[in-house]
Amino acid sequence: MSTVLRERPAELRPTGRDGGAPARRAVVRWAWRMFRREWRQQLLVLALLAAAVAGTTAGAAFAANFPASPTAATFGTAGDLVTISGSDPHLHADIAAIRRRFAPSQVIESQTLAIPGSAATIDLRAQDPAGSYGRSLLALVAGRYPAGPDQVAVTSQVASTFGLRVGSVWHQGGHVRRVTGLVENPQNLTDEFALVAPGQVSSPTQVTILFDAAPASVAGFAFPDGAAAVARPTGTKGISFSVGLVLVLDTLGLLFIGLVAVAGFTVMAQRRLRALGMLGALGATDRNVRLVLLANGAVVGAAGAIAGAVAGAAAWIALAPAIQPYAGHVIGRLALPWPAIAGAMVLAVLTSVAAAWWPARSAARMPVTAALSGRPGSPRPARRLAALGGALLACGLCALVFADDNGGVALLVLVGMVATVLGLAFVGPAVIDLLAAAGRNAPIAVRLALRDLARYKARSGAALAAVSLAAGLAATIVIALNQAAAQAAQTTPTGPNLPANQLIVYASPAGPGTVAPSQTAAQQRTLGARVRAFAGTLHPTAFVPLEVGVRRDQGSYQEAIDTIPANYEAAGLVKSVSTCPPPALEYAGPAYLATPALLARYGIRPGQISPRADLISSRSDLSGDQIASGVSKGCGYASGIYYLTHPVIQTVASLPAYTSDPTTLITHRGMRALGLHVAPAGWLIQTAAPLTNAQISAARQMAAAAGVVVETMSTAPTLAALSYWITLAGLLLGLGVLAMTVGLIRSETAGDLRTLTATGAGGSTRRLLTAATAGSLALAGAVIGTVVAYLAILAWHRSALYTMAHVPAGSLAVILVGLPLAAAAGGWLLAGREPPAIARQPIE
């Protein structure tokens, strides 16, 4: 028998080996339709990608907007500025000359005003609100700008300090001014000033002239002595370092999410295996099959990226006003770093596509018959992954240890973090095997739950890694917060000057580093008793007298130090500064006497102090500094001062650093070398809780009455409060991951549930099954996350282990017990429905 073989019609000839663009369009269309139908099953990956992009969007916006711009806060919109001291004998003539040469220009006059009872000062500022360059430095909050000679507008902090409000009258230094409004400097919200109309500052301390001029024109002009024109620094274009850092962290996060996504897409490939097999049976090539899952990955990535960017931008827009007080300047809600956001979105899509690659490759390589039968490939042994995970964890922790040893090398920290996160992900499946083994003799529902976790390791392992990461992040924040609190307990500051629970009363009205020369011993005792009585009202946890060394021949060198009030003196640190005129020395802070009480305050035994030490300090930047027998508030050390040019400095880490706290102490040896004697300088008062505004106000009143001054923390609040929300967010993220994973696993095992029901298991068994699945995953995740977090922080902060002596038991209990309990309770409450009757659905 013979047959006639027909020629294939021309239009059926392939346009390419894989059917060309029509075939690709067909499979992509199917992938898109499947995503629309089954996006809920991919919610975990979607949510993680969206969270990463949202975090990056908000984080990059934060990084771009949070740091204050000194340039904008100083120059306004001007390109140049010149500052002239108020002591310039030809001030008005000089101002006029500069204005003539560099018109248009704007003059801002400032006069420093003391706050009664405080070491702090405010600025009385004469500035035209409609000025050509300084408009961006002023904003009206309430009322109106001052227009006449007896009018003033104040910042809210000044209003609070002096008890003013719009319409009230301010008596200040013999002037009576009516408050016309509340103002602020949008570029610097910590700028405390009182605004008056131009020309209303009678004796300015400083005059600033803003203008725009060509560099050659500025260079060719002879500015008055002591005044120098400064050109606005050129801004950097592109993505700033901090925004770049956020993008690096985003990449790290996406790396982890990519791992979770691989597992998620593997699950999706398994769910669609029979459909993919059918596609192969219809004649789809391997590339076509691969494209289905890659297209799904791209769609998931794009959806997550868009959702994340929108959520992140919305969160930023909502939170920006709340962040302003922390930033210290007004933040534009729509000032978003678009290139960084676009970068994060592209990264998210790439991560998702890359994560889909491996499942796509596996599915495409699977024999069509195996795919049609819906049989998954054999799972990889967990032992190999666990070994890899263990090795990565070890490498990560070692990198963090080395980073700590080498002063926190960024690359080592980065490598350590990446390796630790990857290691954490890879140990998950082995831990699940251990859980299943541990539950051998548990009740049937628990046993079944643990075995199901082991059976569906692809998704439970990924979920465990995600829960571990969420719990680990929360634990890291809790531990870091506790560490910060421990450092605060060691009086390490959280702000630029003092911790929130500290207050220093200076015995001298001239403030830090000075002593009042005219006080008799009796007066000193009276003042001490008064301060102690006041401290008693604060219920202090510490009350430490501060003493400094002063010269016996006081007064003999006062002529050489004309910038300091007469007869206020104490020994002080001196450093060389290039901007100082010869002899190029500048006061760099007080050196308090290393008294036994002060040493004990910081846990230092006298025996720890070297007999050769002149100074002990927590600072590592003192090398090359000198110690002088007197002080100057600026440049101006000259004759009559004794110096130790190469003091022996002993570094003691437990002393606080970079604050008004006693960072550097002078020993009796140093005192002897400089011929100093001891004088009281003040008292350090520490309370259990942060000082309230009422307590600070009471301290200022006491100080004003006693003729001394107090210093408290700067008014900018800390970000610590936000961390609690971040901890809560970590817990919620963990619970969200659990909810989705447990839902997936339980839906996969619906057949088992039906069998259980058919054999007589009731609702409580089904509830216990779900609760055990969720609870065990949460417990394992919480334990792994917390242990890894602790190990990582220990490795990274090995040199400051003393700050970790106190374990934040309460917070960790919330993570280790609260998270599993919440997960188990949620599982119990949400489970218990009768399983659907149909045992198996066809692929459609």
Site residues for other proteins per CB under 8 A: 1-9, 11-20, 22-23, 25-27, 29-30, 33-34, 36-37, 274-275, 278-288, 367-369, 372, 842-844
C-alpha–C-alpha distance, residues 691 and 696, integer Å: 7
Q: Minimal distance in Å, beta carbon 20 to other proteins? A: 5
Residues 6+ apart with CB under 8 A from 314: none
Question: DSSP per residue over 123-146, as a string?
Answer: EEEE--TT-TTTGGG-EEEEE---
Q: Minimal distance in Å, beta carbon 287 to other proteins? A: 8
Q: Judged by CB, which is closer to other proteins: 285, or 524? A: 285
Q: Minimal distance in Å, beta carbon 281 to other proteins? A: 5
Q: Judged by CB, which is closer to other proteins: 37, or 92? A: 37
Q: Judged by CB, which is closer to other proteins: 218, or 268? A: 268
Q: For the CA atoms of 284, 286, 292, 297, what is the dihedral angle to 10 degrees? A: 180
DSSP H helices in 185-284:
215-219, 241-271, 273-281
C-alpha–C-alpha distance, residues 659 and 196, integer Å: 33
Angle at 798 between CA 796 and CA 801, to 5 degrees: 120
Write out 453-478 in H/E/C secondary structure.
HHHCHHHHHHHHHHHHHHHHHHHHHH
Q: Minimal distance in Å, beta carbon 57 to other proteins? A: 31
Q: 166 in the Ramachandran plot: left (φ > 0), alpha (ψ -120 to 50) or beta?
A: beta
Q: Minimal distance in Å, beta carbon 267 to other proteins? A: 17
Q: Judged by CB, which is closer to other proteins: 21, or 93? A: 21
Write out 68-92 in H/E/C secondary structure.
CCHHHHHHCCCCEEEEEECCCCCHH
Q: Minimal distance in Å, beta carbon 364 to other proteins? A: 9
What is the CA 620 to chain-centroid distance, rounded? 24
Q: Minimal distance in Å, beta carbon 462 to other proteins? A: 25
Omega before 596 within 30 of 0, i.e. cis? no
Q: Judged by CB, which is closer to other proteins: 34, or 417? A: 34
Q: Minimal distance in Å, beta carbon 365 to other proteins? A: 9
Question: DSSP per residue over 302-342, as a string?
Answer: HHHHHHHHHHHHHHHHHHHHHHHHHHTS---TT---HHHHH
Q: Judged by CB, which is closer to other proteins: 283, or 760? A: 283
Q: Minimal distance in Å, beta carbon 270 to other proteins? A: 15
Residues 6+ apart with CB under 8 A from 169: 176, 177, 178, 179
C-beta of residue 753 within 8 angstroms of C-beta of residue 838: no
C-alpha–C-alpha distance, residues 75 and 87, integer Å: 22
Q: Minimal distance in Å, beta carbon 777 to other proteins? A: 30
Q: Judged by CB, which is closer to other proteins: 26, or 480? A: 26
Among residues 735, 259, 253, the alpha carbon closest in space to that of 471 is found at: 735
Element spanning 723, H or E = helix 720-748
Q: Minimal distance in Å, beta carbon 301 to other proteins? A: 19
Q: Judged by CB, which is closer to other proteins: 9, or 611? A: 9
524-541 burial code (b ≥16 CB/10 A, e <16)? eeebbebbeebbeebebe
Q: Judged by CB, which is closer to other proteins: 285, or 715? A: 285
Q: Judged by CB, which is closer to other proteins: 79, or 374? A: 374
Q: Judged by CB, which is closer to other proteins: 271, or 601? A: 271
What is the CA 604 to chain-centroid distance, rounded? 31
